[in-house]
Chain A
């Protein structure tokens, strides 16, 4: 039976840090699935099948968490004892919030651009560039042991995640219209 007390990094045999080896994550994930997936327990008894379902549920949740940079960052903070609910908690960086509003307005304005698809691609580029900068910021703050600042970076990542979703939604809408 799988040891559920392991943290997600231990589970996938990864060093406990923000930057991870994607191929190692992927290989460990496959190996764990091959061992615990419910398909391997089709002919087993009910209890073993329930355990298999629970185990793969845990593996999948862990995998999803480590795959996403924001969730991975938040998880690292949780391991350091900084737990927070990012649905309620938010950043109070005024300049950051102002900049967010600018990007939002730019997104809303895309429809009026001469080439809306090109414009949205540009904005998406900008968003992803700034999101990458946040990751570097997080790594730096963690190394310096400034956990509260690291937490602020994670809260900011959430804003960028929403922007990404928004830009994707607009792209899809544009495609629907143009295609």
Chain B
């Protein structure tokens, strides 16, 4: 260690202290958390040794929330209150959700904020809140395992996620009380995990990351050079994944079995069986399938044929990404496979054929993203001051504004390196025009309808001028997380009327704050409910102990009056137990019965001492009483 260290601004000069940081892969089907320990990135496991946390959340009547395996197990019996694949709903409006081809078994209600809510027994829930529960569970796992608070996390998102989807992910993290160092694109994380930049033989490498998850597909082309990961192009489909493979099998089974396809419960059962069959076919050439009373056999050739159009769609996106990067297939040095769906043999085969080289599958495709995120989180936390790793990401979809005739004018083109700031000037069309509406869009198409509407707002207070005299500057700012803010300002008069916008389908800050407050109240309600349940168990134990004691020796030890006193007190506790939900009242009632029964307890203890020689035990009842005192 140098005696004198000259530090860069922002770099800590304090002696090195390991700051706990983690990488989170918030997936459609499963989620993971990983961290760097003793220089090695590893995923953290739950009590049963599983790293994968099913991204399933079950809401119960008493505001209890169950996350993961237990929720997944409850799914079939409680479809409407058990939310899975919430990631597909993030940043989406009601209309988008209706076009998602998945048959969602949930009841949606529109809210004031345009964020669709799912009706559950515990109230209306947004996909953001569902995701927050998953993040909370992972955070808890990490803090239990590591024994300290996390200083920050890197959360991965599909590279193809648009602004609204990224914002929704960040909002979920805020609800889960996580400090987000960075939102990182999943393919970039995978590239980091493979550490292909360390290759000595070539100073510059081009790699393609093919990422097929449960509900999303991404393709990214990266240039790696001495620790710098530069994304050249990215593309994909944010509504295509392994779930769609399941769909194909499910549809086939329903068709073969002649069962009703519009019955959501039958469909869901078919999806579960389809998933199992798909997984079986990664190793076997055929598998038995059954649905309702129907039984059949699915072989790999038929399955490959079913999903062929979907696989082709992914290869088409690969072609486009290469073209965007101005590269040919043979310029790609390595192809990295990410996501559980790349276990499907025909996917590996076709991708290998397309790029003309066998894809890399050494790291578990389910874990590779979380591991890459953990490595970056460790660097960002400042645990590796000498590490030169730097990730330069791009914006996946062009950003623009609505202009004349419902057309879109692009302000920032897709695959522009972020962060970036760009401004464009506009003017008024009419004399004395004092307001101008600004419509922000994301996508590649020419017309407004074909692109995603991110935000609409109007700039007011433009001073009255002749048409064309006002100079309105609209500034787009995209930060390192790929999140956009837009300001509009009138320049000639120097009067600034800027406004920051949030995506149309996002939550407002007020809504998020309300949710955080609610969740704190909920946590309090949870605690209340738990306390009450504990007291109820206590009450039952007290009543049982009294009953069994009286059954044994009431006749020999107590007078008629004493028996009546005890039974009255017993009835009172019984009644309170049945009519209250307040832990404190119940606790007081238990204590009251115990006080009334004190003389009986004392008498039994004396008796016990007398019979101690015979080895009799002190009853549960008196044991209990001692604890209370």
Contacts and interface: CB of A to CB of B under 8 A. Distances in A.
Prevailing SS type, chain A contact patch? helix
A168 interface: yes
A70 interface: no
A122 interface: no
A34 B10 CA distance: 14
Contact of A48 (B9, B316, B382, B418): B9
Given A30-B228, A53-B479, A60 B152 contact: no
A175 B9 contact: no
A30 B182 CA distance: 20
Given A34-B388, A48-B9, A53-B479, A42 B380 contact: yes
Contacts of B421: 54, 57, 61
A108 to B, nearest CB: 16
B453 interface: no
Interface in B399-431: 416-422
A175 B122 CA distance: 48
A172 B182 contact: no
B66 to A, nearest CB: 34
B390 A175 contact: no
A52 B421 CA distance: 13
A48 B419 contact: no
Given A44-B9, A168-B323, A176-B316, A37 B420 contact: no
Contacts of B390: 30, 33-34, 37, 39
Contacts of B8: 35, 40
B316 A175 contact: yes
- The interface size bin for chain A is 20 to 34
A61 B319 CA distance: 27
Contact of A43 (B12, B182, B225, B319): B12
B239 interface: no
Prevailing SS type, chain B contact patch? mixed
A144 to B, nearest CB: 31
A12 B607 CA distance: 96
Contacts of A175: 316, 319
B121 interface: no
A150 to B, nearest CB: 25
Contacts of B9: 41, 44, 48
Interface string B477-517: 10110000000000000000000000000000000000000
A4 interface: no
A35 B228 CA distance: 12
B332 interface: no
A24 B405 CA distance: 44
Given A30-B225, A37-B392, A53 B382 contact: no
Contacts of B316: 175-176, 179
Contacts of A179: 312-313, 315-316
Contacts of A60: 416-420
Nearest to A63: B417
Interface string B203-231: 00000000000000000000001101010
B391 interface: yes
Given A37-B480, A39-B480, A63-B417, A48 B182 contact: no
B419 A56 contact: yes
User: Quick one: which of B181, B228, B422 has the most chain A CB within 10 A?
Assistant: B228
Given A38-B480, A175-B319, A179-B312, A43 B10 contact: yes
Interface of A: 26, 30, 33-35, 37-45, 48-49, 52-54, 56-57, 60-61, 63-64, 168, 171-172, 175-176, 179
The 6 A-B pairs with the shortest beta carbon distances in the complex, nearest first, are: A44-B10, A57-B421, A41-B10, A38-B480, A60-B417, A30-B228
Interface of B: 8-12, 152, 181-182, 225-226, 228, 230, 312-313, 315-316, 319-320, 323, 379-382, 388, 390-392, 416-422, 477, 479-480
Given A38-B479, A39-B379, A57-B420, 14 more contacts: A30-B225, A30-B226, A37-B480, A38-B419, A39-B390, A40-B11, A43-B12, A52-B10, A57-B419, A57-B421, A60-B416, A60-B417, A64-B417, A179-B316
